[in-house]
Amino acid sequence: MNKSDLTPDPATAIYADTADVLLSYFADCRFDQSHLTPMHLALALEYAYRPHRRFWRDFNVTMLVDAMSRHMPDWRTTAAMMTGGAAHELLSELERILRINAFDETNAEMLLALPVGERPGNPSAAFAWIAAELARNGLTTQLEFARPDGERCGEKALDVACCLEQARQGVAVERTGTIVAKAWRDAVMKRHAQHDASTREAVSAGVV
pLDDT digits (tens, 9 = 90+) for 65-83: 999 999 999 999 998 898 8
pTM metric for this prediction:
0.85
Query: Side chain identity at 116, as an amino acid letter?
Result: V
pLDDT at 103: 96
Long-range contacts of 23-30 (CB under 8 A, 24+ apart): 23/67, 23/70, 23/71, 25/181, 25/185, 26/67, 26/68, 26/71, 26/72, 27/71, 28/185, 28/188, 28/189, 29/184, 29/185, 29/188, 29/189, 30/188, 30/192
- 3-state SS string over 141-162? HHHHHHCCCCHHHHHHHHHHHH
pLDDT at 107: 96
pLDDT at 73: 95
**83-97 residue pLDDT tens:** 888 999 999 999 999
Comparing CA positions, the residue from 57, 53, 47 lying closest to residue 18 is 47
109 has pLDDT over 90: yes
Domain that holds residue 199: 3-204
Per the structure, the count of domains in the chain is 1
**171-182 residue pLDDT tens:** 988 988 999 999
Which 8-state DSSP code applies to residue 83?
Answer: S
Specify whether the CB–CB gap between 22 and 67 falls below 8 A.
Answer: yes
- Beta carbons within 10 angstroms of residue 108's beta carbon: 26
